[in-house]
């Protein structure tokens, strides 16, 4: 069974304090790994898609990387507006569904 | 393009009642998905439509749940004889067919929060 775990469960950072979020996965036939951001009371918002080990994507203060067993979301010099839950999801096999991890709840304090 | 629209935003119902939610996807998206999310967890897949055809259903989708997408446009998710365990956020998402390997993932709606009392 495909599984996705994320760590830490929650993370508090001071503004400007860089850190990384981890997503570990166990799947058969990875087709893609996705990062989403979710604000309270809203649906997830797409950030990145990664397809193969070694791939990296960047957007503003965020950078996502992928290995054969995990992905990292690096946050450089975060700002309070980066506070949200960050979700990792994988698509595997022939299905169209995503398997999501439980998310990391990030708080950035001014 | 106003994104994926879901109605209602909130629904409170008594145990045993039936409820129906509606999702209007992005107009050019032919793929539509329903997910369920409980507090502190990631979304869990329920079902997937390509145009009007329901092509995948999760084992989570019990007989009390039914989804439709007539004419391949909006979709409805109905829960019959609701139970307290059905309380969750129900999320709808849509996507277009991926071109090559460039796919921007789903676009999610803001969800319908169901509370069963």
Nearest to A102 among B41, B109, B113 (CB): B41
pLDDT at B1: 54
- Give the pLDDT confidence of A13-29 residue by residue, as tens digits: 999 999 999 999 998 88
**Strands A104-109 and A10-14, how do they pair?**
parallel
Question: Is the model's pLDDT at A5 over the cut of 90?
Answer: yes
Q: Which DSSP string do the residues of A76-95 spell out, in sequence order?
A: -S--GGG-EEEEEEEEETT-
Q: Give mean pLDDT, residues B52-68.
A: 92
Q: Which of B95, B80, B35, B79 is nearest to A99 (CA)?
A: B35
**Strands B10-13 and A30-38, how do they pair?**
unpaired
pLDDT at A1: 80
User: Given CB atoms, is B78 within the 8 Å cutoff of chain A?
Assistant: no
- Give the pLDDT confidence of A15-72 residue by residue, as tens digits: 999 999 999 999 888 888 999 999 999 999 999 999 899 999 999 999 999 999 999 9
pLDDT at B96: 82
Asked if B108 lies within 8 A of A41 by C-beta distance, the reply is no
As a whole number of angstroms, the distance between CA A10 and CA A20 comes to 12
Q: Which residues pair with B113 in a beta bridge?
A: B10, B89
* Contact of B64 with B4, CB cutoff 8 Å: no
**Where do runs of H (alpha helix) occur along A4-101?**
none
Q: In Å, how far are A26, A47, A98, B33, B109 from B56, measured between CA atoms?
A: 21, 25, 12, 9, 20
pLDDT at A97: 85
- Give the pLDDT confidence of A71-86 residue by residue, as tens digits: 999 999 999 999 999 9
* Beta carbons within 8 Å of B79's beta carbon, 6+ residues apart: B18, B19, B20, B64, B65, B86, B114
3-state secondary structure of B98: coil
pLDDT at B98: 64
Give the residue on B whose Cα is nearest the Cα of A51. B101
Nearest to A96 among B43, B56, B110 (CB): B56
pLDDT at B102: 56
As a whole number of angstroms, the distance between CA A29 and CA A31 comes to 6
Nearest to A42 among B101, B106, B110 (CB): B110
| Average pLDDT for chain B | 91
Asked if A42 lies within 8 A of B105 by C-beta distance, the reply is no
pLDDT at B104: 66
Asked if A43 lies within 8 A of B93 by C-beta distance, the reply is yes
* Beta carbons within 8 Å of A40's beta carbon, 6+ residues apart: none
Starting at the edge strand found earlier in the chain, the sheet holding B5-7 runs B5-7, B19-24, B75-79, B65-68
Q: Provide the terminal-to-terminal Cα distance of chain B, rounded to the nearest Å.
A: 36
Residues in A lying within 8 Å of B, measured between beta carbons: 4, 32, 34, 36, 41-46, 49, 51, 87, 89, 95-103
- Chain A residues within 8 A of B31 when measuring between CB atoms: 96
- Chain B residues within 8 A of A95 when measuring between CB atoms: 56
Question: Is the model's pLDDT at B2 over the cut of 90?
Answer: no
- Chain A residues within 8 A of B91 when measuring between CB atoms: 43-44
Asked if A36 lies within 8 A of B110 by C-beta distance, the reply is no
pLDDT at A22: 98
pLDDT at A31: 86
């Amino acid at each position: 069974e495909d599984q996705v775990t994320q760590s830490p469960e929650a993370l508090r950072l001071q503004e400007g304090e860089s850190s990384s979020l981890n997503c570990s996965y166990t799947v058969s036939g990875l087709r893609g790994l996705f990062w989403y951001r979710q604000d309270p009371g809203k649906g997830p918002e797409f950030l990145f898609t990664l397809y193969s080990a070694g791939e990296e994507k960047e957007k503003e203060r965020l950078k996502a990387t992928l290995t054969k067993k995990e992905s990292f979301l690096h946050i450089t010099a975060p700002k309070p507006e980066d506070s949200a839950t960050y979700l990792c999801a994988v698509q595997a096999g022939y299905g169209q569904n995503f398997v999501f991890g439980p998310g990391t709840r990030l708080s950035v304090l001014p | 393009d106003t994104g994926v629209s879901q109605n209602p935003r909130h629904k409170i119902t008594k145990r045993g009642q039936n409820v129906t939610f509606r999702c209007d996807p992005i107009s050019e998206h032919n793929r539509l998905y329903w997910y369920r999310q409980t507090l502190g967890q990631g979304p869990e897949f329920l079902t997937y439509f390509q145009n009007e055809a329901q092509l995948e259903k999760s084992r989570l989708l019990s007989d009390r749940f039914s989804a439709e997408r007539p004419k391949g446009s909006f979709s409805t998710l109905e829960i019959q004889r609701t139970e307290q365990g059905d309380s969750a956020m129900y999320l709808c998402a849509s996507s277009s067919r991926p071109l090559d390997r460039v796919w921007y993932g789903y676009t999610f709606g803001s969800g319908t929060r169901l509370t069963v009392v």
